Structure 1
Amino acid sequence: MRALTRGPSEPGASGGNGDNEENGEAERAEGADGEVAAGARTPASAPGAAPGRRGPKGRGGSGGPGGIGGIGGFTAADEERRRGVRRMKTIATGALLLMATVFALAKWAQHAGAGGWTGYVAAAAEAGMVGALADWFAVTALFRHPMGLPIPHTAIIPTKKDQLGQSLGEFVGENFLSEDVVRARLRAVGIGNRLGAWLAEPAHADRVTAELATALRGALTVLRDSDVQAVVSEAITRRAHAQEIAPGLGTMLEKIVGDGGHRRIVDLVCERAAHWLEVHRDSVMEAVEGGAPGWTPRFVDRRIGERVYRELLRFVTEMRDMPDHPARGAVDRFLSDFARDLQSDPETRARVERLKNEVLDRSEVQDLIASAWSAVRSMLVAAAEDERSELRVRARTALLSLGMRMANDGRLQGKVDGWVEGAAVYLVTTYRDEITSLISETVAGWDAEHTSKKIEAHIGRDLQFIRINGTVVGSLAGLAIYTVARFFGV
């Protein structure tokens, strides 16, 4: 009957991932206990069929068992489970046939006058058949229409798959994705303590360091230099334009002058100036002579040049060798006044701001800012690739230190646990609907017939035990009822 419901030209008729074996072996096993598989392949127009779940490749657009949104084909483990289900079906059906045989023999013996015991055996066998048939109906109704008849409330999984998926999503959301459950579970795990103990192991710290280095190299490789350079340049320029630098420069200069830090610069300038004058005496003389009036005699110009040179050299030399030289005091006063002007004089501050903006807007400065990223990137990549680099050594040391602290510091463990719990609770409470809808929508996208077979492969073996137990319990119940009835003479 199964073959009659699907023509050879219908898409999916040949099945996939073991479906050929299913069309043969499953048919034989189902036929052994009277189950007609045509109920599982009821045409879309038949009563009870799941609307919109069939069609070319799609049975609901899932693309077949292994298609988009599908539950996937049968694996080797699934095929082994299905063979186990078929074996248990054979045993359960055999128990039913055994009860029928015993019932027939007991009735024959009863009519033949074999004795009163035949009534007890017949009652037990009859009740066993009833129990076996009832449980066969109940188990079969989960996956297909018994005997192919569209009996209401049968083929529950194929016809109620979407509702089951919705209920499953709601169940998961209410019982697994609640704030209390997440917090209690994470608190019981003790992530801070475990993570600290794990990181405190040198091998684990090495592994994390290597993974971080790989991630850093990957990120730097993916990033486009031009994009990063534009972002860095724009960020630095915008912040520099927005931030007034004159007061800060004035405060820094005032502190430097107060601490005497500028004196080394003055010493260096005086030393370099004295050395330059000693080396370039002729240049100074020529400069003085060249600036003299044309009507003065040349020897007078030379005498004036020599006098000027000696005075300049004496002044610079004295300033270099005398810490308390008046010119040094004048420099101190100038710098102190300039520091105050930078902090409080509006005109000075405005001039400094104009100068700053002019410098920042120059193309050379923009190119320098942009090129800084290339240097930083090359440095980071080289450091990430070198296992002995200072970056990786420091990262490993920091991880080991963090792990030891987390393993021994209860307060730090509590903080880490709190952070993890907070993050998990935020994700759960924010995206709970998306998570549960993922479950329900995924189940809704599965092919109903294939899903039913997949579930039956996983739980069908245990369900067949229900049939066997029904046969045994039914026969015992029938025997007990018949015994009680005979005892009271009913």
Structure 2
Amino acid sequence: MERSNKGRAAGPDTDADRSPGTDAGRSPGRPGGLSAAGLPAFSYTAADEEKRRGVRRMKTTASGLLLLVAVIYVLATWAKNSGVDGWPGYVAAAAEAGMVGALADWFAVTALFRRPLGLPIPHTAIIPNKKDQLGTSLGAFVGENFLSADVVRARLRALGIGGRLGSWLAEPSHADRVTAELSTALRGALTVLRDSDVQAVVGEAITRRADAAEIAPGLGKMLDRIVSDGAHHRAVDLICARAHDWLVEHGDSVMDAVQGGAPGWTPRFVDRRIGDRVYRELLRFVTEMRDMPGHPARGAIDRFLRDFAADLQSDTDTRARVERLKSDLLARPEVQDIIASAWSSVRGMIISAASDDHSELRLRARASLLSLGARLATDGRLQAKVEGWVEDAAGYVVSTYRGEITSLISDTVKSWDATDTSRKIEANIGRDLQFIRINGTVVGALAGLVIYTVSHALGA
């Protein structure tokens, strides 16, 4: 009775009995097994066909039990009509109720997947006809009961993520694994990024930041502190020493320069004497500056630097001139090239460090992870903070994107082919449904026997 409609030319039963190799119900020519909505196709597979063979065997068993009950009913009724008293009535009542139960459950099970006997009975072929509504209801159910911020927070709080994460990270092997994964991700990100794009962004950011910040007051404060601490004395010592050495080595050049600047009408021996005099005085002056820490010229340099430091902080004209100089320097191509090339150097250094298991970067990252794990495993306040961050993030995601998540469920179900969906579901749960038919036959027979026995006893 179950398969009496197998030979129909159309209808859900005919579609459901096609071999898994057919493409019925699917749009032809769509690449990659995608549905009309661009989602992965929900197709009927060879594994589903293997399960369906088990369903067919259970159908045969359930239908055979129905046929057996029907034969028993016929024989018991014949015996009763033939004048046999006693047991035929009980057997006929049980068999009759068993047939009713079996037929009722057959109708209920069949109505889930197709129209029984192909008849257009209302509220049958529920799965093929109500697939979209079921998907929408499933999405709404998941959204209301699983994607609630309160539910997610309570579940995460019960897991104790902070303590678990800390204990996990405190293991050296786990810290090594996380360090390796982070290094791989870092190398991948730096490899994907185009140098020209990053250089442009870095150069623009540095230039904009430098333009926006006034450097004169900061330079003035730094210079004033240097002079107050006497840190510039070494620089002055170095300059004096280098100047003395240069004068010693290039005395002829100095005297030639002095003689070359003399008037043409002066005698040459006078020019030589003047040049020699100037050179000796200049050498003496530089030597004294080099050897005498209290030389007046050194004091003059200190006063000049203090005055310049004060002007950098308070003099409007000096500050404006420094800002113009800064802008001119930043605008020079050489400076922009240096800023842009800095990224390439930093990128290469980071990639090299991330690739080396024993680099300072990876060793420090591993040590930081181990330290974080140890603290998380024991520090209740830190655990509470981490768990709060996780709960806030999860709550934000489910609250903000709950509609998109539930629409993924409903849209995916809508994209499935109705026939394939019905056949696939039947293949996976059909055996259990056939047990319902068997149970209905047995329970119906027992109920009929009890009812007949009670009625016969009361009638007697």
Q: Give secondary structure in 1 for the equivalent of 2:121.
A: coil
Indicate the residue corresponding to 1:97 in structure 2.
67
Indicate the residue corresponding to 1:82 in structure 2.
52
Q: Which amino acid in 2 is paired with 1:245?
A: I
Indicate the residue corresponding to 1:160 in structure 2.
130
User: How far apart are 1:371 and its partner, in Å?
Assistant: 1.5
Show CA shifts across 1:188-228 (max 9, x none): 12222222222222222222222222222222222222222
Indicate the percent of aligned positions where both proteins have the same amino acid.
Answer: 73
Whether the 8 Å contact between 1:40 and 1:144 is mirrored in structure 2 is no
Indicate the residue corresponding to 2:5 in structure 1.
36
Whether the 8 Å contact between 1:78 and 1:457 is mirrored in structure 2 is yes
Q: 1:174 aligns with which of 144, 160, 163?
A: 144
Q: Does 1:388 align with 2:355?
A: no
User: How far apart are 1:325 and its partner, in Å?
Assistant: 2.1
Show CA shifts across 1:163-202 (max 9, x none): 0000000000000000111001111122222222222222
Q: Which amino acid in 2 is paired with 1:207?
A: R
Whether the 8 Å contact between 2:44 and 2:423 is mirrored in structure 1 is no
User: How far apart are 1:478 and its partner, in Å?
Assistant: 0.7
Indicate the residue corresponding to 1:297 in structure 2.
267
Pair 1:228–1:152, CA change in 2 (3 A):
same
Whether the 8 Å contact between 2:25 and 2:420 is mirrored in structure 1 is no
Pair 1:70–1:383, CA change in 2 (3 A):
closer
CA distance in structure 2 between the partners assigned to 1:106 and 1:62 by the alignment: 60
Indicate the residue corresponding to 2:34 in structure 1.
67
Show CA shifts across 1:1-23 (max 9, x none): xxxxxxxxxxxxxxxxxxxxxxx
User: How far apart are 1:60 and its partner, in Å?
Assistant: 7.8
Matches within 5 A, 1:455-466: 455-466=425-436
Matches within 5 A, 1:293-372: 293-372=263-342
Indicate the residue corresponding to 1:454 in structure 2.
424
Q: Which amino acid in 2 is paired with 1:441?
A: D
Show CA shifts across 1:12-38 (max 9, x none): xxxxxxxxxxxxxxxxxxxx6345357
Whether the 8 Å contact between 1:39 and 1:146 is mirrored in structure 2 is no
Indicate the residue corresponding to 1:226 in structure 2.
196
Indicate the residue corresponding to 1:188 in structure 2.
158
CA distance in structure 1 between the partners assigned to 2:11 and 2:46 by the alignment: 27
CA distance in structure 1 between the partners assigned to 2:122 and 2:165 by the alignment: 55
Q: Which amino acid in 1 is paired with 2:102?
A: A
Q: Give secondary structure in 2 for the equivalent of 1:258.
A: helix
User: How far apart are 1:361 and its partner, in Å?
Assistant: 1.0
Matches within 5 A, 1:439-450: 439-450=409-420
Whether the 8 Å contact between 1:99 and 1:128 is mirrored in structure 2 is yes
User: How far apart are 1:430 and its partner, in Å?
Assistant: 0.5
CA distance in structure 1 between the partners assigned to 2:24 and 2:435 by the alignment: 35
Q: 1:285 aligns with which of 238, 250, 255?
A: 255
Q: 1:255 aligns with which of 222, 225, 229?
A: 225
Indicate the residue corresponding to 2:449 in structure 1.
479
Show CA shifts across 1:362-397 (max 9, x none): 111112211212212222222222222222222222
CA distance in structure 2 between the partners assigned to 1:182 and 1:39 by the alignment: 50
CA distance in structure 1 between the partners assigned to 2:230 and 2:380 by the alignment: 49
Whether the 8 Å contact between 1:99 and 1:125 is mirrored in structure 2 is yes
Whether the 8 Å contact between 2:42 and 2:417 is mirrored in structure 1 is no
Matches within 5 A, 1:395-474: 395-474=365-444
User: How far apart are 1:308 and its partner, in Å?
Assistant: 2.2
CA distance in structure 2 between the partners assigned to 1:356 and 1:73 by the alignment: 68
Q: How does the TM-score come out when normalised to structure 2?
A: 0.91
Of residues 132-141 and 318-327 in structure 1, the stretch that sits farther from structure 2 once superposed is: 318-327
Pair 1:39–1:415, CA change in 2 (3 A):
farther
Show CA shifts across 1:377-426 (max 9, x none): 22222222222222222222222222222222222211111111111111
Indicate the residue corresponding to 2:239 in structure 1.
269
Of residues 252-261 and 145-154 in structure 1, the stretch that sits farther from structure 2 once superposed is: 252-261
CA distance in structure 2 between the partners assigned to 1:40 and 1:184 by the alignment: 55
Q: Give secondary structure in 2 for the equivalent of 1:183.
A: helix
Q: Which amino acid in 1 is paired with 2:80?
A: Q
Q: Which amino acid in 1 is paired with 2:139?
A: G
- Structure 1's unaligned 5+ residue stretches are 1-31, 44-55
Q: Does 1:121 align with 2:78?
A: no
Show CA shifts across 1:431-464 (max 9, x none): 1001111111110111001101111112111111
User: How far apart are 1:319 and its partner, in Å?
Assistant: 1.8
CA distance in structure 2 between the partners assigned to 1:355 and 1:386 by the alignment: 43
Cα RMSD for the two superposed structures:
2.3
Indicate the residue corresponding to 2:20 in structure 1.
none
Q: Which amino acid in 1 is paired with 2:34?
A: G
Q: How does the TM-score come out when normalised to structure 1?
A: 0.86
Whether the 8 Å contact between 2:162 and 2:383 is mirrored in structure 1 is yes
Whether the 8 Å contact between 1:342 and 1:348 is mirrored in structure 2 is yes
CA distance in structure 1 between the partners assigned to 2:301 and 2:179 by the alignment: 53
CA distance in structure 1 between the partners assigned to 2:124 and 2:29 by the alignment: 23
CA distance in structure 2 between the partners assigned to 1:35 and 1:179 by the alignment: 52
CA distance in structure 2 between the partners assigned to 1:358 and 1:40 by the alignment: 87
CA distance in structure 2 between the partners assigned to 1:342 and 1:213 by the alignment: 46
Whether the 8 Å contact between 2:220 and 2:311 is mirrored in structure 1 is yes
Whether the 8 Å contact between 1:192 and 1:416 is mirrored in structure 2 is yes
Of residues 174-183 and 411-420 in structure 1, the stretch that sits farther from structure 2 once superposed is: 411-420
CA distance in structure 1 between the partners assigned to 2:424 and 2:32 by the alignment: 10
Q: 2:77 aligns with which of 80, 95, 107?
A: 107
Q: Does 1:377 align with 2:333?
A: no
Of residues 443-452 and 387-396 in structure 1, the stretch that sits farther from structure 2 once superposed is: 387-396
User: How far apart are 1:88 and its partner, in Å?
Assistant: 1.7
Q: Which amino acid in 2 is paired with 1:166?
A: T
Of residues 74-83 and 470-479 in structure 1, the stretch that sits farther from structure 2 once superposed is: 74-83
User: How far apart are 1:65 and its partner, in Å?
Assistant: 11
Q: Does 1 or 2 have the higher relative contact order (CA < 8 Å, sep 6+)?
A: 2
How many residues are matched? 447
Q: Which amino acid in 1 is paired with 2:92?
A: A
CA distance in structure 1 between the partners assigned to 2:268 and 2:33 by the alignment: 107
- Structure 2's unaligned 5+ residue stretches are 13-22
CA distance in structure 1 between the partners assigned to 2:430 and 2:7 by the alignment: 18
Q: Which amino acid in 2 is paired with 1:265?
A: A
